[in-house]
């Protein structure tokens, strides 16, 4: 996912982003310790401004020069670099990063580390390891405490019961509200909507934040999710409006999976509205999208349902 400023002050400054990359490139030529510190220093900036690609590129450059060497006194900085460059990091580098986490006895130095580690590596760690890392950091500053509660309730990260996970996420949401941190609020809302019985209001608030923060992909996905909820409630006009907006965003941003989801939703809405021709048009469009086997399977299933409903009419 792409997120926006930790303090909610708006989107990234492209000039500033370019200057950060240039500074790290210069440091790689003369002082790898400084380069590594810069990667750590700008970790929150990259992630909070949706600049994961830039973060990955910078981290990969530094890691390619460091190899498996962890500079003395820069363990957490190395860990953050591996988190950013996890997609292309060497196995030995991933193992070094894991070792750093397991051998650290106190809280992380950088507030954002506990959140980034939890979201990137946490899903692949035993729940007990994740909980131990969270416990080490729950006495940090206000933002860290909010992040710990977010991770404690994040689906699949810990062994928390559904009710406990929901409470942790509500606590995180409240703390991020007090900090006026829209990024944290968005993360908490997106997680909370997955563990509550009636997620419509939460999904709507998450959608509003996604729009404010100019998160195109997340906006389209949330529109599809809210449209699904509207459709199940029988609010077909509202569902059609949300699916249509999601389709427009998906086509504009070249998000094939989002386009497929929106068209499938429009097809189902059209079928429930008695508009079989429109449903067939959307399903046919889904079947033309390349490399989307799951979407094709759903479209073919929906066509069978449509044919059966017409035959029984």
How is 182-196 classified by DSSP, letter by letter? HHHHHHHHHHHTTTS
Q: pLDDT tens-digit profile of 71-101?
A: 999 999 999 999 999 999 999 999 999 999 9
- Dihedral over Cα of 256, 6, 63, 133: its sign: negative
Nearest to 231 by CA among 243, 246, 214: 243
List the beta strands (DSSP E) in 58-99: none
Distance between CA atoms of 61 and 59, rounded to whole angstroms? Answer: 5
Question: What pTM was computed for the model?
Answer: 0.86
Q: Which of 155, 112, 146 is nearest to 5 (CA)?
A: 112
Which residues, 6+ apart, have CB-to-CB distance to 155 below 8 Å?
165, 191, 194, 195
**Averaged pLDDT of the chain:** 91
> What pLDDT does 183 receive?
87
The C-alpha atoms of residue 154 and residue 125 are separated, in whole angstroms, by 14
- List the beta strands (DSSP E) in the chain: none
Q: Where are the domains of the chain?
A: 1-104, 128-214, 215-313
Residue 173 has pLDDT above 80, yes or no: yes
- Whether 11 shows a pLDDT value over 70: the answer reads no
Rounded-to-integer distance, Cα 174 and Cα 221, Å: 24
> Which tokens in the block code for residue 136?
């080490």
Rounded Cα–Cα distance for residues 310 and 305 (Å): 9
CATH code, 215-313: 1.25.40.10
Instruction: Encode pLDDT of 21-60 as tens digits.
Output: 788 888 888 899 999 999 999 998 888 777 888 899 999 9
d(CA 302, CA 278): 13
Q: pLDDT tens digits for 188-209?
A: 999 999 999 999 999 999 999 9
Q: What integer is the mean pLDDT of 268-276?
A: 97
Specify the DSSP class assigned to residue 277: H
User: What pLDDT shows up at residue 15?
Assistant: 57
Instruction: At 151, list the tokens.
Output: 């991770």
Query: Percentage of residues in the chain with pLDDT exceeding 70?
Result: 95
Task: Identify which of 173, 167, 109, 118 has the alpha carbon closest to the alpha carbon of residue 141.
Answer: 109
Average pLDDT over residues 249-277: 97
What is the per-residue pLDDT for 48? 77
Tokens of 103: 């051998």
Judge contact between 159 and 193, C-beta under 8 A: no
What does each C-alpha distance from 281 to 14, 225, 265, 287 come to in angstroms?
Answer: 40, 21, 12, 10
Longest dimension (CA), the chain: 76
* pLDDT tens string 132-170: 999 999 999 999 999 999 999 999 999 999 999 999 999
Residue by residue, what is the 3-state secondary structure of 246-272?
HHHHHHHCCCHHHHHHHHHHHHHHHHH
């Amino acid at each position: 996912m792409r997120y926006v400023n930790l303090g909610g002050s708006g989107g990234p400054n492209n000039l500033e982003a370019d200057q950060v990359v240039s500074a790290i490139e210069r440091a790689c030529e003369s002082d790898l310790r400084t380069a590594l510190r810069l990667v750590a220093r700008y970790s929150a900036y990259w992630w909070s401004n949706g600049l994961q690609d830039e973060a990955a590129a910078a981290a990969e450059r530094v890691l390619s020069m460091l190899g498996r060497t962890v500079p003395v006194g820069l363990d957490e900085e190395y860990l953050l670099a591996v988190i950013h460059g996890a997609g292309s990091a060497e196995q030995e580098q991933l193992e070094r990063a894991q070792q750093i986490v397991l051998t650290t006895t106190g809280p992380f130095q950088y507030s954002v580390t506990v959140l980034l580690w939890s979201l990137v590596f946490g899903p692949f760690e035993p729940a007990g390891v994740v909980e131990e890392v969270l416990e080490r950091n729950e006495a940090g500053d206000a933002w860290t405490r909010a992040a710990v509660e977010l991770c404690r309730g994040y689906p699949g990260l810990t062994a928390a019961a559904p009710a406990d996970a929901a409470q942790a996420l509500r606590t995180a949401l409240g703390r991020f509200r007090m900090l006026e941190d829209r990024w944290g609020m968005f993360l908490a809302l997106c997680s909370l909507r997955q563990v509550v019985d009636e997620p419509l209001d939460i999904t709507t608030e998450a959608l509003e934040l996604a729009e404010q923060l100019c998160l195109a992909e997340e906006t389209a996905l949330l529109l599809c999710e809210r449209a699904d909820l509207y459709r199940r409630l029988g609010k077909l006009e509202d569902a059609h409006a949300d699916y249509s907006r999601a389709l427009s965003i998906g086509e504009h941003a070249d998000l094939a999976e989002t386009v497929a989801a929106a068209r499938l939703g429009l097809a189902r809405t059209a079928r429930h509205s008695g508009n079989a021709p429109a449903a067939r048009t959307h399903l046919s469009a889904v079947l033309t999208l390349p490399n989307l086997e799951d979407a094709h399977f759903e479209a073919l299933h929906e066509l069978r349902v449509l044919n059966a409903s017409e035959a029984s009419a």
